[in-house]
Every structure is written in structure tokens, then in C-alpha cells.
Amino acid sequence: MHDTITPQETMLLRAEIELLMKERQALLKVSGAAASLIAELRSGDLPPAAVEAAELLAGSINALPEETLQDALNSINAQIHEG
């Protein structure tokens, strides 16, 4: 194994990082939209079959680090108002 990175390896790493950043932005938008939707829902208004999915989604959103959730909401220009 060599200790130096070739220009081709550098280019491949840059391309991979750019791809990962684009994927992150897409996932942030999905997460932000989901968080915004969940914040507006009332479980009593959902069909019984949808409650489990909504709870799973809410749990996944709540498990996100606060900074990531804020990035997700910022990606869709939304805020969740507690109250």
C-alpha cells in the first residue's frame, strides 16, 4: 500500500463526497417535510392503519440529533411550533 494519494484518487474522492452531500440534502428535505407533517397531525384524525406508521416516523424524527433536525427544517424553510 502506498502513502500518497494520486490525482485520480483525489478526483474520485471529491466526486464521492459531492454525491454524498447531494444525497444528504435530499434526505434532509425528506426529513424536514416529514417532521413538518408529523408536527401538524393529530393521531385521532388518522385512520387506525396509519397510526403505527406515523408513530414510527415520529420516533425516527425524534431520534435525530437536534442539529440535524434543524438542518432538515431549514432545508424546507419550515419551523415546528411547539404548543
Instruction: Tell me if 34 sits within 8 A of 57, measured CB to CB.
Output: yes
Q: Count of domains in the chain?
A: 1
| Angle, vertex CA 71, rays to CA 78 and CA 17, nearest 5 | 135
What residue numbers bound the domain in which 24 lies? 7-75
Res 57: pLDDT: 95
Please check whether residue 58 lies inside any domain of the structure: yes
Residue 10 has pLDDT above 80, yes or no: yes
pLDDT at residue 83 above 60?
no
DSSP secondary structure code for residue 37 in this structure: H
Distance, in Å, from the CA atom of 11 to the CA atom of 20, rounded to the nearest integer, reads: 14
In a domain, 81, yes or no: no
In a domain, 19, yes or no: yes
Determine, yes or no, domain membership for 62.
yes
- 72 class by beta-carbon count within 10 Å (0-12 exposed, 13-18 middle, 19+ buried): buried
Helix (H) / strand (E) containing 57 = helix 48-62
Q: What digits encode the pLDDT tens for the residues 15-61?
A: 999 999 999 999 999 999 999 999 888 888 899 889 999 999 999 99
With respect to residue 1, please indicate whether it lies within any of the assigned structural domains: no
